[in-house]
Amino acid sequence: MTITIRHLEPGDYGPIIRVLNDWWGGRRMADMLPRLFFVHFRPTSFAAEADGKLCGFLAGFQSQTSPEQAYIHFVGVDPVFRAAGVGRTLYERFFETVRALGVTEVQGVTSPLNEGSLAFHAAMGFELLRGDGGVGHSPDYDGPGEPRVRLRKRI
């Protein structure tokens, strides 16, 4: 199996949105991924293909407020391809791309209930940032009842 990484394109939006909730075990996640990432953040957003089949994506950007920072907004990997290095390959391409733009720190968030995501980010060298609820926990971060764990990796 050969994994190829390329920039997200506007035409990727429909195919990704159609499978996204399934990739997340039926959880309603598609509303969290607006089309604008496929149009306005293409230089720092990527699709992964395995032998020509979409198997993952990463939507991220360099901060306009703090250009030394970048943010990973959303990552999805087809469950069939998990543990095959797709996520790691997407993250490494993102780090390489934003480092060339002068970024020294990458941030992101995940659900405190998503143990797989927390383990993946720890393995990738992310640290937990202090939130309103203590280290690694920000209650109501994305609105009432939407806690998140804030993450950071220095690159």
146 three-state secondary structure: coil
Q: What percentage of the chain reaches a pLDDT higher than 70?
A: 97
- Domain at 1-61+74-103: CATH code: 3.40.630.30
- State how far the alpha carbon of 148 is from the alpha carbons of 41, 64, 77, in Å: 23, 22, 20
CATH 3.40.630.30 residue window(s) in the chain: 1-61+74-103
pLDDT tens-digit readout, 14-60: 999 999 999 988 889 999 999 999 999 999 999 999 999 999 999 99
27 token code pair: 């959880």
pLDDT tens-digit readout, 61-75: 999 999 999 999 999
Q: Strands 3-7 and 149-154: what pairing?
A: unpaired
Please give the pLDDT value at position 114. Answer: 87
Asked whether the beta carbons of 71 and 59 are under 8 A apart, the reply is: no
- State how far the alpha carbon of 56 is from the alpha carbons of 67, 90, 134, 153, in Å: 26, 8, 32, 21
